[in-house]
Amino acid sequence: GQQLNQSPQSMFIQEGEDVSMNCTSSSIFNTWLWYKQEPGEGPVLLIALYKAGELTSNGRLTAQFGITRKDSFLNISASIPSDVGIYFCAGFSGAGSYQLTFGKGTKLSVIP
């Protein structure tokens, strides 16, 4: 089956720093999604990307759908303590697909 390789696995950063994480696949995806999961909660959708090359922002978050359709990145600018959590990339592959494939997640820790 499809796999999404998400990196890094974990990050420790200082408050105020920018963060970048990415997701790659050996196969093409039609939709890329980025979720954030805080401890004890379900994942919450941050950004959805539907077209190759698309660059979308949500506040301090920016994500891009790679031109090759095999990768996506998420950037967080000027990190704050409440950015702590696990960030998952996910994607739909194939026309009409409704089954999400998840990356293994990037655990973000922000040091005040």
Partner 1 sequence: DAMVIQNPRYQVTQFGKPVTLSCSQTLNHNVMYWYQQKSSQAPKLLFHYYDKDFNNEADTPDNFQSRRPNTSFCFLDIRSPGLGDAAMYLCATSSGTGVGGYTFGSGTRLTVV
Residue 98 lies near partner 1 (rule: CB under 8 A)? yes
Residue 92 lies near partner 1 (rule: CB under 8 A)? yes
Determine the Cα–Cα distance for residues 94 and 102; give it in Å rounded to an integer: 15
Residue 2 lies near partner 1 (rule: CB under 8 A)? no
Q: How far is the CB of 19 from partner 1 (least distance, A)?
A: 18
Q: Given candidates 25, 74, 76, 105, which one binds partner 1 under the rule CB under 8 A?
A: 105
Residue 90 lies near partner 1 (rule: CB under 8 A)? yes
Determine the Cα–Cα distance for residues 82 and 15; give it in Å rounded to an integer: 10
Tell me how crowded residue 32 is: count the other CB atoms within 10 A of its CB: 29
Tell me how crowded residue 10 is: count the other CB atoms within 10 A of its CB: 11
Q: How far is the CB of 15 from partner 1 (least distance, A)?
A: 22
Q: How far is the CB of 93 from partner 1 (least distance, A)?
A: 9
Do 2 and 99 form a contact (C-beta atoms < 8 A)? Answer: no
